Amino acid sequence: MLEDDPKLASLVRKGLEAQGFTVDFCTHGDEAFTMAITRAYDALVLDIMVPGRDGLSIVRNLRERRITTPVVLITARSALNERLEGLNLGADDYLTKPFYVDELIARLHAVARRASGHTLTLLQHGELSVNLVTREVRFAETAIALTTREFSLLTYLLRSPGQTFTRAQICEHVWNYHFDPGTNLVDVYVQRLRRKLYADEDHSPIETIRGVGYRARPLSHTSKPS
């Protein structure tokens, strides 16, 4: 999220995180652009009037690079020509300040669904399914209750089966802060997920890559518990 008003940014971030979103936040357009081209996001929320690159420039540059991440633009101005310019540059939706956080959440879900179809709505890993809209997690026909952080950790790994993520990457994405080598936070949460999803590590969708971090097992190697 790119927003240079700290009060608004804090309010929106809390609202999004309360609904299970993982939010990266910055106040400068140049930083936002760098993040957008170097990290994978489901959607971007960009204020138009910010220091550095403005939101419209970021959208233009992303689309020129053929980066199709959905974008919701926000601005304090309601001029029709500005809204049209943003949409014509490749933005997916538009919100005028002030707005309700619930409306932003609904629009984020909508643009993400339009961009990725059903693949974004449901993650499937063997008999494990995760609905990203309703936040329902099931193994076979059994519903599994997860905390917000557990859900974020699980979906982060399941989106890229076979890709190994370091503890630092997981910590930054799920908890939004830099990894402390002295903490076992990531390991604790992985163990919690394993206990909830499967009886033992051999049958868990989350695989330990020793000396590196964790990954969701490649789908072709998914095993059912015996």
- Cβ-based neighbour number of residue 6 at 10 Å: 10
Confidence at residue 214, expressed as pLDDT on a 0 to 100 scale = 92
pTM of the model: 0.53
What's the CATH class of domain 120-221?
Answer: mainly alpha
**Which CATH fold topology does 6-116 show?**
Rossmann fold (3.40.50)
| Residue ranges per structural domain of the chain | 6-116, 120-221
- Averaged over successive runs of 10 residues, the pLDDT of the chain (226 residues) comes to 87 82 88 88 88 90 86 77 77 83 83 61 82 82 88 86 85 73 86 80 80 82 37
Confidence at residue 156, expressed as pLDDT on a 0 to 100 scale = 85
Q: 173: which 2 tokens?
A: 């994405």
Do the first three CATH levels of 6-116 and 120-221 match, i.e. the same topology?
A: no
String of b and e for 151-178 (b: at least 16 CB within 10 Å)?
bbbbbbbbbebeeebebebbbbbbbeee
Confidence at residue 152, expressed as pLDDT on a 0 to 100 scale = 86
Strand partners, 214: 165, 208
Confidence at residue 135, expressed as pLDDT on a 0 to 100 scale = 83
Confidence at residue 104, expressed as pLDDT on a 0 to 100 scale = 86
Distance from C-alpha of 162 to C-alpha of 112, rounded to nearest angstrom: 23
